[in-house]
A and B are shown apart, each in its own frame.
Chain A
């Protein structure tokens, strides 16, 4: 990078008043507010032309998650106000997540409209809360739970699509989203099992059984309504979901 730094001479003045070096120092300290839309390039050339970063939302930043982060030069384009809110840019919609989570809370009636567009941020949040409750119980199982979620969603994806045959149109994103959201009962189980005495006892098994059945019902209902081809294989898919959630409840009980 060949460029010239033109450093103004440092002049120490005895008197007060605004002296240009001080003004430059002020300007140097100012980069914490780089979002100055009206900063013509000429002013920067008069000041010390060191590296300055302007974070502006450059073009082609749409609503999809993971947009474009561009750090351009002194010619800052769009301003801070034109940027999208961070959560929207990442694709996390807390209202939608809360709505979907609430719909799992009722095991007897499924509400598939909330789950029509799948997202993975709710499942990630539920995964983190499950790991948190396991951590409170003294088990550090972050990697294990994540690995098991991935494997079990691939398993359910394969089983569902194979059973549904030619008209099976479940995709992996929806599958992972449904499996993740239906982990809510397991999260509640892990929270509840913090208060039940440790050790393998029948009340623990019974409690786990209730939550596993709840999760299975929710998952089966959602899978069958969200993707075609699963109607006549309800029991078969239910057994696959049951296996998955029993596996997770084993992590919680023991």
Chain B
């Protein structure tokens, strides 16, 4: 804030410059909770969907139409994270059922938070898995001598594109087979589980480069199975007006599983 005041009579210029004080730093902290301000939209809009988080207490009408409360997805614990990772990496070992536990809170029907239910989606694992993927990609690039900060940024962008593609694929399937009234953050969470799988692929590739194809195919199978089971559960339980036992449903679910193959190969194949 600068005030320029020219006083004519003495021929002197009076300049008062008052830069922002410390108390102006805090609105940035509050702004993230007062969601959807212009500051957030302009400054963070470039970093993709993972920064469109609204706060817990203040969810203005616009945002709540598209996003459910993101606080729900972060109610996790160490135990949940361990078990969920086991579920993602070895879905065929899951002994229980895939249905989400429900509870009635004050007459309203809602799902139990992830801390109580292994089948609930969460956003912590996708976020951390994405970070792990970026770090492992950087490490892999470095081992092969091709490390540069731009390359790491490129891998991060590739990862975000892939996440977006997964979300679009799942949303398209849901909309075709039913009315697709599933919360968007749920789908983002399911799409983000890919990164946990891809991180394992990259880790194996770092340790022994020849096992890339085998491990990728194996993980495609796992990821496909995971997504198909999740989609089936969603279609049965959460989506109204869905057509059961039709061949269209079978083909679409098969498409979802098969589409994992090029996706995982694309993510794992870091250009060296």
Contact = CB atoms under 8 A, between A and B. Distances in A.
B262 interface: no
A2 B132 CA distance: 68
A32 B74 CA distance: 62
Chain A residues touching B, range = 35 or more
Interface in A20-78: 49-53, 58, 64-66, 68-74
A199 to B, nearest CB: 9
A95 to B, nearest CB: 19
Interface of B: 6-23, 25-26, 28-29, 32, 44, 47, 51, 53, 56-57, 70-71, 73-78, 81, 123-124, 127-128, 131-132, 134-135, 138-139, 141-143, 145, 147, 149, 152
A52 B12 contact: yes
A239 B78 CA distance: 11
A148 B152 CA distance: 11
A162 B71 contact: yes
B196 to A, nearest CB: 13
Contact of B11 (A49, A157, A161, A173): A49
Contacts of A165: 56, 71, 74-75
B180 to A, nearest CB: 26
B142 A72 contact: no
B149 A163 contact: no
Contacts of A148: 149
Contacts of A151: 47
Contact of A2 (B8, B18, B20, B145): B8
A243 B139 contact: no
A171 B149 contact: no
A71 B81 contact: no
A246 B128 CA distance: 13
A3 B12 CA distance: 11
A137 B75 CA distance: 43
A120 to B, nearest CB: 9
A79 to B, nearest CB: 18
A196 interface: no
B53 A64 contact: no
Q: Which of A2, A148, A171 has the most CB of B within 10 A?
A: A171
A239 to B, nearest CB: 6
B14 A73 contact: yes
Contact of A243 (B12, B53, B131, B149): B131
Contacts of A58: 16
A72 B134 contact: no
B149 A251 contact: yes
Contact of B135 (A49, A74, A247): A247
Given A52-B12, A171-B26, A247 B134 contact: yes
Contacts of B13: 51, 71
Nearest to A54: B12
Contacts of B77: 232-233
A165 B128 CA distance: 18
Contacts of A235: 78
B131 A158 contact: no
A155 B70 CA distance: 15
Chain A to chain B: the 3 pairs with minimum beta-carbon distance, closest first:
A73-B12, A254-B142, A171-B29
Contacts of B47: 151
Contacts of A107: none
Nearest to A174: B29
Contacts of A144: 149
A135 interface: no
Nearest to B132: A243
A247 B78 contact: no
Contacts of A232: 77
A200 B21 CA distance: 45
Contact of A66 (B19, B127, B139): B19
Nearest to A199: B145
B124 A68 contact: no
Contacts of B149: 141, 144, 148, 251
A155 B135 CA distance: 14
A254 B14 contact: no
A1 B6 contact: yes
A114 interface: no
Given A162-B71, A172-B32, 17 more contacts: A1-B6, A3-B11, A64-B22, A65-B22, A66-B20, A70-B17, A71-B15, A72-B14, A73-B14, A154-B44, A159-B127, A163-B124, A171-B26, A239-B128, A240-B131, A243-B131, A250-B142
Contacts of B29: 157, 171-173
Contacts of B147: 250, 254
Contact of A51 (B12, B70, B141): B12
A176 B32 CA distance: 15
B17 to A, nearest CB: 5
Contacts of B25: 171-173
